[in-house]
Structure 1
């Protein structure tokens, strides 16, 4: 008797497998995911490899423009020498630079103390100042010092801090705030709205009236109250902000849940005896992910902008910490004289928001069950 070969049964694909395959086919979304991952790694790891700490202030390098060449420039050395000698209350006889060292000759009507080298070391331009030659009467002295080479690829801000390091540190704060508050708002809003919409009836009425009451409260006043209650810890503060921003998410999810609970597959699950919790988690919530993801990609920049506003009021991120919103606010005040203070943080923020929008569009298309 001959065996009849039967075709192998095809393995079913889940919603997540189909979604991942469709997402991989979206080049813009995948490129945005890689860019966002790279941006996150740069903001986390980058400050450890930059040549300056984000709190270090260089008084001799205030608002210097970005450059791939090392500072100081020749004119800056001349200015630094004159300032140092002026602070020492001596007369400058001359100076010259040789082999990475500067030699300064000073004179005075009174004998010069060798400790005058301290005035040279106080400059951000020089280090290791020492006396190399002194006249017999002590009225003329020559000092040498090493010229410190510093790189400021993004320039410096109004107080002389490295903008590259501060931009990366600000990225840590902005991304953490946006994602943290966004996740809090999504979790609370999805659960609250799905339960209200799927349950319906009196439960839905009571839950949505609570949302209406919270909507009636002045938003910024409510946020300020939460900030005062939680203190200046930005993590706790934006957990509180996320706990306020869930209201829009709850309304969106509730409307979607009201529509989905009338679908045939939900009614079939009810007829098969699936519990309401199982239907909610396995059928309703997965089909809500498209709108939820899109709203979250819009929520992250909204939180970043809100953080900038709170920081302007003195309730957000405080010095020496910073965020992209704060750097942009400071850069906008210096457009005529220092455009780089606005260009670099704006570029980081704008490209990150573009990436989030492309990712949101890709996830919306990938998670749409109608495209399966």
Structure 2
């Protein structure tokens, strides 16, 4: 018997985090949502560097262009763009034709035509590399050639002619950063404060909760205005401070859970073994609070994103040329009748991200619940 016990392999237990990860991997919806969130994060962070257009570049000739997989300008748009460019030269078009990707145009005037007029074609978003092919001896007639500049707008353009794809990716970077910054700050402060109040109990709990009640009474908009006065329009500092206000709900949720957990037998056993309050908080109370905390975190991120849209509408949040999903949706809602793509693309990214956050939150809640182990 002794030999068998000595040669038997040792049984290695799994920690709370190892067991939670194994259970999370078994949840297909949560894992798919987690991968989707990682993908959204990657394309939001690195995508603006690889798209062909900057999110601030304005294309005056392509205002409110619908999404297209083919290049602009379309064949029926070339003549319009050419007419607009030639009109700025204050000359008349005698003839024009297209050969492949090249456009040849002959213009005439009652006065000699300056060679520098070709810059009007180069300034157009539809043409590039303009050259003078032929010029009459009296200078009243000039033949020019220009290359048709192909532009791809997969998500279309907005009301000022900016590429919606690059703006949607940049908006994702800002919205996710704001949501995570404010969410992490709120969760960290709320969990520590609420767990300490609930586990301490007595007069300490009363005093800490009265402080929360006082902070609840402060007008939120007044607080934000004061932040703008002190910190300026630095959205990082502002939303870090916003997260420092949103922890109040988290503190109340955690405090209620902590009051329930402190009466459990394993907490009383830890106290009987001489473990201090700090050790009980870290090893027993906070791990058993992770389920509600994760669920609240998944709800807090979209709450912050919506809050950011509201503040931007008031002129206190994200300002042009910077953007966010909330700002894009606000603009798209005003143009849904004539340019619905301005609403559909940012709304899809926002809604799909919120769904993914909810699925991940549900999966983490089930995986981190010690009662289901």
* Fold-level similarity (TM above 0.5): yes
Superposed CA offset, 1:52-97 (max 9, x none): 1111110001010010001101121111111011111111112111
| Cα offset, 1:4, TM superposition | 4.1
Query: Contact 1:227 / 1:240 at 8 angstroms: preserved in 2?
Result: no
DSSP 3-state at the match of 2:225: helix
Q: 2:69 aligned with 1:68, yes or no?
A: yes
Q: Which runs of 4+ in 1 moved over 3 A?
A: none
Q: Is the 8 A contact 1:155 1:162 kept in 2?
A: yes
Q: Secondary structure at the match of 2:61?
A: helix
After superposition, what is the alpha-carbon deviation per residue over 1:149-206, rounded to whole angstroms, capped at 9, x for unaligned? 1100000001111000000000000000001100000000000000000011111111
CA distance in 2, matches of 1:119, 1:11: 76
| 2:151 aligned partner | 150
Aligned to 1:59: 60
Q: 1:310 & 1:28 partners in 2: Cα distance?
A: 33
Distance 1:17 1:305 in 2: 34
The residue matched to 1:220 in structure 2 has which SS?
A: helix
Trace 1:73-84 onto structure 2 (pairs within 5 A). 73-84=74-85
What is the match of residue 205 of structure 1?
206
Shift of 1:224: 2.5
Query: Where does 1:262-301 land on structure 2 (aligned, <5 Å)?
Result: 262-301=263-302
Task: State the Cα distance separating 1:3 from its structure 2 match.
Answer: 5.4
Q: Give unmatched runs, 5+ long, in structure 1.
A: none
CA–CA distance in structure 2, aligned partners of residues 85 and 223 of structure 1: 51
- Deviation of residue 319 (structure 1)? 1.2
What SS does the aligned partner of 1:112 have?
coil
SS in 1 for 2:18: helix
1:119-158 equivalences under 5 Å are: 119-158=120-159
Residues of 2 paired with 1:47 and 1:118: CA distance? 30
Q: TM-score normalised to the size of structure 2?
A: 0.98
| SS of equivalent residue, structure 2 residue 162 | coil
What SS does the aligned partner of 2:4 have? coil
Q: Is the 8 A contact 1:102 1:144 kept in 2?
A: yes
Structure 1 residues 12 and 3 mapped into 2: Cα distance closer, same or farther (>3 Å)?
closer
Q: Determine the C-alpha separation between the residues in 1 that align with 2:14 and 2:59.
A: 59
Deviations 1:263-321 (A, max 9, x none): 00000000000011000111000000000000000000000000000000111011111
Report SS of the residue matched to 1:61. Answer: coil
What's the Cα RMSD here?
A: 1.0
Residue pairs, 1:176-191, within 5 angstroms: 176-191=177-192
User: How many pairs were matched up?
Assistant: 371
Separation of aligned partners in 1, 2:144 and 2:52 = 28
The worse-fitting range, judged by mean Cα deviation, of 164-173 and 116-125 is 116-125
Using the alignment, how far apart are the partners of 1:161 and 1:263 within structure 2?
59
* Contact 1:170-1:322 within 8 A present in 2 as well: yes
Distance 1:96 1:329 in 2: 43
Residues of 1 paired with 2:226 and 2:112: CA distance? 64
Query: Do the aligned partners of 1:189 and 1:248 also contact (CA within 8 Å) in 2?
Result: yes
- What is the TM-score normalised by the length of structure 1? 0.98
Hey, what does 1:36 align to over in structure 2?
A: 37
Tell me the distance in 2 between the aligned counterparts of 1:225 and 1:356: 32
Deviations 1:219-266 (A, max 9, x none): 222222223322211110100100000000000000000010010000
Structure 2 distance, partners of 1:320, 1:358, is: 33
Q: Structure 1 residues 115, 8: CA separation in 2 closer, same or farther (over 3 Å shift)? A: closer
Question: Which has the larger displacement, 88-97 or 253-262?
Answer: 88-97
> Quick one: distance in 2 between partners of 1:178 and 1:228?
22
Give the SS at the match of 2:47: helix
Q: Deviations over 1:73-122 (max 9, x none)?
A: 11211111110111111111121111211111111111211111111111
